[in-house]
Structure 1
Amino acid sequence: MRVCAEHHVINTATGPMGTRVYRPAGPGSYPAILFYSEIFQETAPISRMATVLAGHGFVVLVPEIFHELNPAGTVLGYDDMGKDKGNSDKATKPLESHDSDTAAMVDFVRRQPWCQGKIGAMGVCIGGHLAYRAAVNPDVAAAFCLYATDIHSGTIPSQPGNDSLSRTRDIRGELYMVFGKQDPHVPGEGRRLIQHNLEQHGVNHSWLEVNAEHAFMRDGDARHDPALALVMYQSAIALFQRTL
């Protein structure tokens, strides 16, 4: 399918959130995917990933995940300055605010004529964590989480007992978790903790560990694995076609 893109401002509990919407061109209604970016927000690789998904018959929303902490339209560079700012934002914004962002996007897509009502989530890096977190929302039917950071460590601020490991008990949809074995951000013991937690709470999930580094989906990066990225796209699309 050919894809069109448009910009919307969604009102959230913590202020206006710029959101890029990618969807099949022409008439019709489709399932929605909330697509959460890395700490750098909507970079060119993130835009291209969203376009690939939309071209397979989905409406894809890419929010500015740190909209409270940056001027509208901010995109951080893939450099030390951008990394430092993004990591600072990650350590500042609480999970509760991410939850209200997700709820606002759910409400937004449900009002649109181009959405048929079913919603999934997907993300990379912190976005993988936010997709996992989005699955706590009962309106999110499935989540595809790529090398999700900070779930195991609890380093994103939250109220006591509201960290993502603790909230796993509330996930009712299906998860697909993907981690790179050579990813230093989520070491083996962290992966085992997440996996055990999912099994303990009986969450319907698939688990995949691949020989890859962090950010292997990011085209243009030295760590990018094009062949593996293609497999991930196919797996995500299959998950969403089945569940949405």
Structure 2
Amino acid sequence: MIILDGEHVELSTPYGPMRTHILRPASPGRYPAILLYSEIFQATAPIRRTAAMLAGHGYIVAIPEIYHEFVPAGEVFPYDQAGSDRGNDLKYRKEVASYDADARAVIDHFLARPDCNGKIGAMGICLGGHLAWRAAFNPEVLGTVCFYATDLHKASLGAGMKDDSLARTADIKGEMFMVWGRQDPHVPLEGRTIIQAKLNEVGTRMSWIEVNGAHAFLRDEGLRYDPDLAHSMMGLVFNFFHRRLSDGDHQA
């Protein structure tokens, strides 16, 4: 059994301080680390539960508050229309360079931690899937999991709605694990085809999975949650990170 510790750290970025939630095994030792990106709603309870599952498998997990330059530390948005509107508004107000600086700050924090063994992965959900993709541009990121990454096929992330995420696919040196819901209107078949074609074009090491699920099927809150799909996909995620990052010390 792995008992977890939790803390908050304030990381410095060029765009202001960023509160970051940390979960890790309580046992002494050195562990691999995972940068976990939330949906547009920030570090909600479902995201923290996902982080706890990852940490429980022997990882240091960091959840950065993606809208730190706009809202007070600790704020989350509700899973309703008002929360969705707020999150989407900020998604397109934040500069892409700020998203990238956030990733760099978390990676540097991992590398400076005495309990991190230097092996780093990334994972994200919805908007977070796109941010995890961009985090993979950093050479330290050995493996990345993207759940139904939004805006990727449209190149519309951030202020000005004109990102270079797909154009920089060749900058990804680690392995990708891409998961999509076939009934997700945010990333339709034509969008998925564009993304897959780009990954194949540059020879990215990847696994690609499409399931019969809606957008947000992983989130254990709301009508679109699919427990069976979520359970099976998270099992594959654990296997992926185990293979790419190893167990760390995993002391009892």
Higher mean displacement: 155-164 or 44-53: 155-164
Deviations 1:69-90 (A, max 9, x none): 1111110111111111100011
Match of 1:180 in 2: 181
Note the 1:37-52 alignment, pairs <5 A: 37-52=38-53
**Kept in 2: contact 1:96–1:158 (CA 8 A):** no
- TM superposition shift of 1:181: 0.3
Q: Distance in 2 between matches of 1:162 and 1:156?
A: 5
Note the 1:90-109 alignment, pairs <5 A: 90-109=91-110
**Does residue 1:225 correspond to 2:226, yes or no?**
yes
Q: Which structure 1 segments of 5+ residues have no match? A: none
Q: Distance in 2 between matches of 1:160 and 1:113?
A: 39
**Does residue 1:164 correspond to 2:168, yes or no?**
no
**Kept in 1: contact 2:40–2:84 (CA 8 A):** yes
Q: Distance in 2 between matches of 1:163 and 1:97?
A: 14
Q: Distance in 1 between matches of 2:192 and 2:16?
A: 34
Match of 2:8 in 1: 7
Match of 2:55 in 1: 54
Letter in 1 for 2:225: H
Higher mean displacement: 157-166 or 70-79: 157-166
- TM-score (ref. length: structure 2): 0.94
DSSP-derived class of the 1:231 partner: helix
Deviations 1:94-121 (A, max 9, x none): 2211111111111111111111111000
Query: CA 1:159 to 1:79, structure 2 compared with 1: closer, same or farther past 3 Å?
Result: closer
- TM-score (ref. length: structure 1): 0.97
Query: CA 1:160 to 1:91, structure 2 compared with 1: closer, same or farther past 3 Å?
Result: closer
Match of 1:150 in 2: 151
Q: Distance in 2 between matches of 1:162 and 1:82?
A: 24
**Kept in 2: contact 1:91–1:156 (CA 8 A):** yes
Deviations 1:140-172 (A, max 9, x none): 111010011000011113689851011111110
- TM superposition shift of 1:26: 2.1
**Kept in 2: contact 1:168–1:198 (CA 8 A):** yes
Q: Which structure 2 segments of 5+ residues have no match? A: 246-252
**Kept in 1: contact 2:145–2:177 (CA 8 A):** yes
Q: Distance in 2 between matches of 1:167 and 1:158?
A: 18
Q: Distance in 1 between matches of 2:128 and 2:161?
A: 22
Q: Distance in 2 between matches of 1:106 and 1:161?
A: 25
Higher mean displacement: 84-93 or 228-237: 228-237
Count of residues in Structure 1 that have an aligned counterpart in Structure 2? 244
Q: Give the aligned CA root-mean-square deviation in angstroms.
A: 1.3
Deviations 1:37-57 (A, max 9, x none): 000000000000000000000
**Kept in 2: contact 1:33–1:61 (CA 8 A):** yes
Deviations 1:201-221 (A, max 9, x none): 111111010000000011121
Letter in 2 for 1:180: G
**Kept in 2: contact 1:122–1:144 (CA 8 A):** yes
Letter in 1 for 2:195: I
**Kept in 1: contact 2:156–2:163 (CA 8 A):** no
Match of 2:76 in 1: 75
Q: Distance in 2 between matches of 1:162 and 1:106?
A: 21
Q: Distance in 2 between matches of 1:20 and 1:240?
A: 20
Letter in 2 for 1:149: T
**Does residue 1:32 correspond to 2:42, yes or no?**
no
**Kept in 2: contact 1:172–1:203 (CA 8 A):** yes
Match of 1:214 in 2: 215
Query: CA 1:13 to 1:64, structure 2 compared with 1: closer, same or farther past 3 Å?
Result: same
Q: Distance in 1 between matches of 2:174 and 2:160?
A: 23
